[in-house]
Amino acid sequence: MRIWLVGAYGIVSTTAMVGGKALERGVASTTGLVSELPPFEGLEKYAPLNFEFGGHEIRQLENAYDATLEHLNLNRHFDFKLLDAVKDDMIQIRTATGTAINCGSGIDELGEIRTIEDEEIGLREITEKLMDDMKKFSDGETVVINVASTEPLPELNKKYHDSIDGFETLLDENRKEYATASMLYAYSALKLGLPYANFTPSSGSNIPALRQLAEGKTPHAGSDGKTGETLVKTTLAPMFLYRNLQIIGWMSYNILGDYDGKVLAHRDNKESKVESKDKVLEKMLGYSPFSITEIDFFPSLLDNKTAFDFIHFEGFLGTRMKYYFIWDAIDAIVAAPLILDIARFLLFAKKKGISGVVKELGFFFKDPMESDLVNTHEQFSELINWYNQVKD
């Protein structure tokens, strides 16, 4: 199968590429891949474990090998021998120039960038160019996944975002203030009938206009990969719920480095991330405990993301108690296998004739589209049941 990655030279993308190619060559194990668990037996028939990669980027590097080497030299997030084993494949992976419309001030941290709109062109032409790039790569078994830097919250306007006709008008009228890069990529993928996933908290396909476009055409899912602190939070909080313990307050403090951390250090880019992390407690518990969610840039940590959580809770007879945890993970290593999983499940859905939001893939996301289910245990059951129903 083929995976088109938006933000193809980022650390999550390049780790997914190395992983995909290493699996194909039999030099890596399937540890970390949800889609290889026993309940999903038979998925191989629809979405085999071999992958071709391409994508859009705005940083100008020679190829995916160079991009991976840059991340690996800094982070040492896996063994150099693995990259050597797939070097020839990685050199072949090159990207097309993307768009960075309304990507916020955080984009300045990426160094020198090149975008389609460096040449004065309108929104309609930008999407035509994006579609052209995707079309050249796709083969009928292709999935598009957004793994680009997090954008600021968009300015929404009912006239342009509530229907596909409105969105097409936005393109034709070239109302750049109402478009974001992630919307343009999502529009291009869905318009071509390619399954699409949004691994970031950016808007992507999560506006009524694009949900309408996907209906009857192709499956999509999002938003924001659930990989670290939120994964633990939504797995642990149900314990308090099942034992009827009242959560009074939950403090989450995250620190991280690398490009993702640099971009998120900008208030406008950070806002969407904090919002998607914050929503989960209320959705899960049915009430809203006092909550602090902070993300800060900590350069020397690089891709090592550390989350400190403190939970204040009340038990029998009104007695107050505390729970603390520290999650200390390599961000790209927990995220990359999910890129392969999501792509495989979306291709499966496409082959089974499913279109629109696949809410059953909510298991993979912090802020699942069209679903209030955020309890990891229930989401996992939902995914297994869906797979079994659709498979037969």
Ligand X SMILES: NC(=O)c1ccc[n+]([C@@H]2O[C@H](COP(=O)([O-])OP(=O)(O)OC[C@H]3O[C@@H](n4cnc5c(N)ncnc54)[C@H](O)[C@@H]3O)[C@@H](O)[C@H]2O)c1
As measured in angstroms, the least distance from the Cβ of 114 to ligand X is 10
- If binding is defined by CB under 6 A, does position 278 make contact with ligand X? no
Pick the binder of ligand X from 20, 28, 35, 57 (CB under 6 A).
57
- If binding is defined by CB under 6 A, does position 103 make contact with ligand X? yes
- If binding is defined by CB under 6 A, does position 11 make contact with ligand X? yes
With a CB cutoff of 8 Å and minimum separation 6, the contacts of 162 are 207, 208, 209
Sheet hosting strand 290-297, strand order edge to edge: 290-297, 246-256, 304-314, 320-330
Pick the binder of ligand X from 3, 18, 43, 58 (CB under 6 A).
58
Nearer to ligand X, 247 or 266 (CB): 266
As measured in angstroms, the least distance from the Cβ of 222 to ligand X is 10
Residue 269 burial (CB < 10 Å; 0-12/13-18/19+)? buried
DSSP state of 250: E
With a CB cutoff of 8 Å and minimum separation 6, the contacts of 161 are 167, 170, 178, 207, 208, 209
- Residue facing ligand X at closest CB distance: 10
Stretch that binds ligand X, among 54-62, 157-165, 167-175, 354-362 (CB under 6 A): 54-62
As measured in angstroms, the least distance from the Cβ of 55 to ligand X is 8
> Which residue from 297, 141, 304, 280 is spatially nearest to 223, judged by alpha carbons?
280
Binders of ligand X in range 133-172 (CB under 6 A): 147-150
- If binding is defined by CB under 6 A, does position 266 make contact with ligand X? no
- If binding is defined by CB under 6 A, does position 227 make contact with ligand X? yes
Number of other residues whose CB lies within 10 A of the CB of residue 81: 8
- If binding is defined by CB under 6 A, does position 225 make contact with ligand X? yes
**What is the size of the binding site for ligand X (CB under 6 A)?**
33
Stretch that binds ligand X, among 93-101, 122-130, 241-249, 355-363 (CB under 6 A): 93-101
- If binding is defined by CB under 6 A, does position 65 make contact with ligand X? no
* DSSP-based three-state secondary structure for 220: strand
- If binding is defined by CB under 6 A, does position 200 make contact with ligand X? yes
Residue type, 98: G
- If binding is defined by CB under 6 A, does position 102 make contact with ligand X? no
Alpha-carbon distance 235 to 233, whole Å?
Answer: 5
Stretch that binds ligand X, among 1-9, 163-171, 356-364, 370-378 (CB under 6 A): 1-9
- If binding is defined by CB under 6 A, does position 90 make contact with ligand X? no
Residue 88 burial (CB < 10 Å; 0-12/13-18/19+)? exposed
As measured in angstroms, the least distance from the Cβ of 293 to ligand X is 14
Nearer to ligand X, 189 or 335 (CB): 335
CA distances from 55 to 107, 189, 344 (A): 18, 12, 17
Nearer to ligand X, 46 or 305 (CB): 305
- If binding is defined by CB under 6 A, does position 307 make contact with ligand X? no
Alpha-carbon distance 84 to 54, whole Å?
Answer: 19
The first and second tokens of residue 107, run together, are 């984009």
Binding mask 338-357 for ligand X (x = CB under 6 A): --------------------
Q: Tell me the H-state helices in the chain.
A: 11-24, 43-46, 64-75, 80-85, 87-92, 123-137, 158-161, 164-173, 181-191, 208-214, 229-242, 258-264, 267-285, 331-351, 376-391
Nearer to ligand X, 60 or 389 (CB): 60
Residue with tokens 């939504």: 234
Number of other residues whose CB lies within 10 A of the CB of residue 78: 20
Stretch that binds ligand X, among 80-88, 97-105, 187-195, 378-386 (CB under 6 A): 97-105
Interface residue list for ligand X (CB under 6 A) = 6-7, 9-13, 56-59, 98-100, 103, 110, 147-150, 181, 199-200, 224-225, 227-228, 259-260, 331-332, 334-335
